[in-house]
Structure 1
């Protein structure tokens, strides 16, 4: 039997609440939350003391009994209470360092907003805004009008409407224009994107009937022409944004399909997915069809994202013919899918940046990251290799290495961007096997446990930290927290 606990009597709840040291906690977290946390803490401490005083029944009980006893003084208990309250109120949404090599990382929030957009959102949070109020006439307005002029200039569209993401834009367009009718889509364009968003499924949810034409690799003009009939409500092209079909292939372009749509009186819609407003080749990136090019080719409607290549906040944009946009905006789903003032506050300054294309690569965060010279990332890696190696010690080998980044979020899926970063390998140990139990898995967990988590990727027995998304102004704060790795990682992992 273990030695009896020194003291099973704990201070009363009311006594601890009345202690002067508790006043700051009450002021910050409120009485109700503080009382609940205090009662839970006292129950846990009492359970530990009883376990230490009673017989050990298994290894877990032995561990509890052998652990250092909790400080049961008022000061000790209130210190533990403060730790609990702080931990319970830490935000679940936290900044991280994205060193995965994927610039538009869906799981890490996609596009980073430029300062102009951040400042606009802060103002929108602090002030009432003319979200749906026409200041000139003093009457109710349309929130889409806040950004419509910029989007019309940038795309050549007659009208636009904004919803909360591109999936919503596709759903709303189909429900408004094709519910009860057929929508013709090439089999080679029946995409599935992240989160199991599938074109056939969204078609069914919208109340439209999918009419597949062609084959996976080849679809011809005659396939559309033969399928178009009285039940056809829409002909739709879908950008294969997250894969590419190569080899013996055939696709009907928007420019080829548009005349058929006009002849039969059937609107032609194009889901561009990522969607870009400028020709990326200007900055040495692969060409991606722009919204303006798509509309100029004859598309009646185009849907695209605001938070991918456009570099703005999460939203979905529908641009095209004014009569079709008007019909879409009257659909009840539009209200359910509309964006808030924060989205519009962020989108407007981002669109304004496009009015100065010669400055875009400097001012638009997404484009700046995509066009970073490899030499600048190599210099950054050179400056960080030594402090990281010093923190990890002899257990790991850190080298500066070339690597390939990707754009991400389905944009230009086969394109890669030359980059540089840090390659970390376990010294004298094979790192393959279960990610969570090998040396690299242990290091990856420690990096994620830093105050600002560092997210890399493990492949080929190496932990890769691609520095494309770590800009120079973040270098010092990134380096400062590397020292916190040392205490946990000085022991050499077993081979």
Structure 2
């Protein structure tokens, strides 16, 4: 049985709003926010009373000041953005779950300027009339890749859908069985092709596909496109074969068929000087004679999320006229960041400016020095940690199986799971890995200016007070 005297002891909303703490919060956040939190807190207490059948106030928070503090805590939680900056200590450079590529300082400045003032997004300053938003990246993409024309959409999946819908709806698209991939989030090439209205024609086998497999299935009256999907997020090894992109381009020209290359991760720089396997570049595909190339903007390019489409001028013109182009179009913030990123490549400054390439190019001695510094700081609080040999990865569906030698801090603890959870719940959150029952922190993906925050998070776990 519920003692109604307990319920009557609850303060009213008006009483709570008159407390110094909530009066201050009303001034900071507005009355609506505070009243909403106050009602939620009182409702919670009432439910506790009703559920337990409380005959007394034992174990219940009934004092006005205590309830006000709980309301203040609730307001802080409610107003805290769910999207938070974090410290990535995993060693995965392009971490899909952690936002993929970090943007350069130049790109961030460009985004801020585009967001802070009106711009000529779709206005031709010289002619004094409406212009096209796509010019802001087209010229740079053409200069960097050798393409005749280019257009940008909001991601590479959208680029693929737009191209297939425009160029192959109701017609056959030839693709090797080994390339019927899932590109992430459960989206698969056959399903994307179905949605676009194109008819999938599988050629070859899972591990071996030859040029004659394409030629055998070509029907010039209904086949309009050959699609090559680069294995950017997996590898097939052993008894394998696939024709090169130049061979496919030549086959397409022979039969008057469009050849499209979906590179996925899409890089403008050669990856081999950094000890990595060769990743096909966008310009290589263009120079090989491919008609249309698609790639992501926020993977190895190191820019914002975007789908880059480059190729023949006549084909790009068709894409720009398709109704989906508006649904897939990018905003001014994205275009500003992309343009700034591409300018770094044009000026041969990508390795020194673009964070993805800064991390890939980071030398082992610099990484070792930072790891040693972290170790020294940990030893001062009695935490046992060692600097060990480890491997970073590029990530983001790029260069599967490729690793970069690194030095990591291995922290010994009785409960690595609890330790990493506490790191995640820190402000800012720190994301680490567990290996050989140790918590692993890789300096390669931790920005230098984040060192103090990372070490503060570690100290807080060992010495919370």
Query: TM bucket by the smaller chain?
Result: over 0.9
Counterpart selection for 1:323 from 308, 314, 319: 314
1:264 aligns with 2:240: no
Residue 288 of structure 1 aligns to a residue in which SS? coil
Structure 2 SS opposite 1:32: helix
How is 1:376-415 mapped onto 2 (pairs within 5 angstroms)?
Answer: 376-389=366-379, 391=381, 393=382, 397-415=384-402
Distance 1:482 1:139, change over 3 A: same
Distance 1:462 1:20 in 2: 47
Q: Which runs of 5+ in 1 are unaligned?
A: 57-63, 428-438, 491-495
Per the TM alignment, residue 20 of structure 1 is displaced from its structure 2 partner at its CA by 4.8
Give the 3 Å change call, closer, same or farther, for CA 329–133 of structure 1 in structure 2: same
Establish whether residue 465 from structure 1 lines up as the match of residue 441 from structure 2. yes
Query: Paired residue for 1:203?
Result: 193
1:174 aligns with 2:161: no
**2-structure distance, mates of 1:445, 1:478:** 14
Q: TM-score, normalised by structure 1?
A: 0.88
Which among 84, 106, 109 is matched to residue 119 of structure 1? 109
In 2, Cα distance between equivalents of 1:51 and 1:415: 56
1:433-492 deviation per Cα after TM superposition (whole angstroms, max 9, x unaligned): xxxxxx11111111111111111122332322222111323222322332211246x9xx
| 1:425 Cα offset (Å) | 3.2
SS of the residue 2:202 aligns to: strand
Determine helix, strand or coil for the equivalent of 1:314: coil
Distance 2:242 2:335 in 1: 36
Matched, 1:96 2:72: no
Match of 2:303 among 307, 312, 323: 312
- TM-superposed CA distance for 1:368, in Å, is 0.1
State whether residues 6 and 55 of structure 2, in contact with CA within 8 Å, keep that contact through their aligned partners in structure 1: no
Residues 1:211 and 1:84: Cα distance change in structure 2 (over 3 Å): same
1:426 to 395, 413, 432: 413
Specify whether residues 12 and 137 from structure 1 end up closer, same or farther in structure 2 by C-alpha distance, changes over 3 A only.
same
Q: How far is 1:46 from its partner?
A: 4.3
Query: Does residue 416 of structure 1 match 2:407?
Result: no
Check 1:53–1:182 CA distance in 2 against 1; reply closer, same or farther (3 A cut).
Answer: closer
Q: Map 1:144-159; keep pairs closer than 5 Å.
A: 144-159=134-149
**How far does the alpha carbon of each residue in 1:244-281 deviate from its partner, in whole angstroms, 9 at most, with x for none?**
11222211111111122112111100000100112233
* Residue deviations 1:254-309 (CA, integer Å, cap 9, x gap): 11111221121111000001001122334444321111111100100000000000
Range 348-357 or range 380-389, more displaced? 380-389
Structure 1 counterpart of 2:223, from 232, 242, 246: 232
Cα offset, 1:348, TM superposition: 0.6
The verdict on how the C-alpha distance between 1:113 and 1:140 changes in structure 2, with shifts beyond 3 A counting, is same
Are 2:335 and 1:344 aligned? yes
* Among 212, 230, 250, the residue aligned to 2:241: 250
Q: Distance in 2 between matches of 1:187 and 1:46?
A: 61
| Aligned counterpart, 1:70 | 61
Structure 1 residue 53: Cα displacement: 7.9
Residues in 2 aligned to 1:6 and 1:251: alpha-carbon distance in whole angstroms: 77
Number of the residue aligned with 1:435: none
* Matching residue of 1:286: 277
- Structure 2 residue matching 1:402: 3-state secondary structure: strand
For the residues of structure 2 that align with 1:135 and 1:282, how far apart are their CA atoms? 42
For 2:119, the equivalent position in structure 1 comes to 129
C-alpha change, 1:177 and 1:484, in structure 2 (3 Å) is same
- 2:180 is aligned to 190
Alpha-carbon distance in 1 for matches of 2:131, 2:121: 8
Contact 1:169-1:318 at 8 Å conserved across structures: yes
Aligned to 1:433: none
Instruction: Provide the aligned length of Structure 1 versus Structure 2.
Output: 464
Q: Is the 8 A contact 2:2 2:50 kept in 1?
A: no
TM-score, with length taken from structure 2: 0.94
Tell which deviates more after alignment, 382-391 or 152-161.
Answer: 382-391
What is the rounded CA distance, in whole Å, between the counterparts of 1:481 and 1:461 in structure 2?
A: 20
Is the CA contact (8 Å cut-off) linking 2:10 and 2:62 kept in structure 1? no
Q: Is the 8 A contact 1:269 1:300 kept in 2?
A: yes
State yes or no: 1:161 paired with 2:151.
Answer: yes
User: Which residue is 1:373 aligned to?
Assistant: 363
More displaced, 303-312 or 360-369?
Answer: 360-369
Change (3 A) 1:442 1:20: closer
Q: How does 1:2-13 map to 2 (within 5 A)?
A: 8-13=8-13
Q: Structure 2: any 5+ residue segments left out of the alignment?
A: none
Residue aligning to 2:429? 453
Q: CA deviation at 1:127?
A: 1.1
